[in-house]
Amino acid sequence: METLSCPRCGAEMVALSIGADAQAMQCPDGHGVFLARSDLGALVEAETDWHRNASQHTAPMPRITADMTAPPAGRVPARAWVETLFR
């Protein structure tokens, strides 16, 4: 992908590898992201696959007893696969 400049601030956008085979250009000052149409299609397909398989990884609810304590606070699970790329 050719180098691009941010339309808002004029800075040269930085190339990011996203997933296995997609690439995005991102403004270093956080003003936006540019994706080629083919890369956007690859991300949409990966997102669809992630949602299709997400429900298979859930554990059954445990039986609640009086001696149980709350588990330690963990990381908030991602709502979507794309969200995992920008953490």
The per-residue pLDDT for 87 is 58
**Domain coverage including residue 25:** 1-54
| Residue 4 maps to a domain | yes
Tens-place pLDDT, residues 16-68? 888 777 888 999 998 988 888 888 888 888 888 877 776 655 666 677 788 88
pTM beyond 0.85: the answer is no
Could you identify the residue written with the tokens 């696969």? 81
- 59 occurs within a structural domain: no
Q: Is 1 part of any domain?
A: yes
Is 44 part of any domain? yes
Looking at the structure of the chain, the number of domains it has is 1
Task: Evaluate whether residue 67 is within a structural domain.
Answer: no
Q: Are the C-beta atoms of 12 and 26 separated by less than 8 Å?
A: no
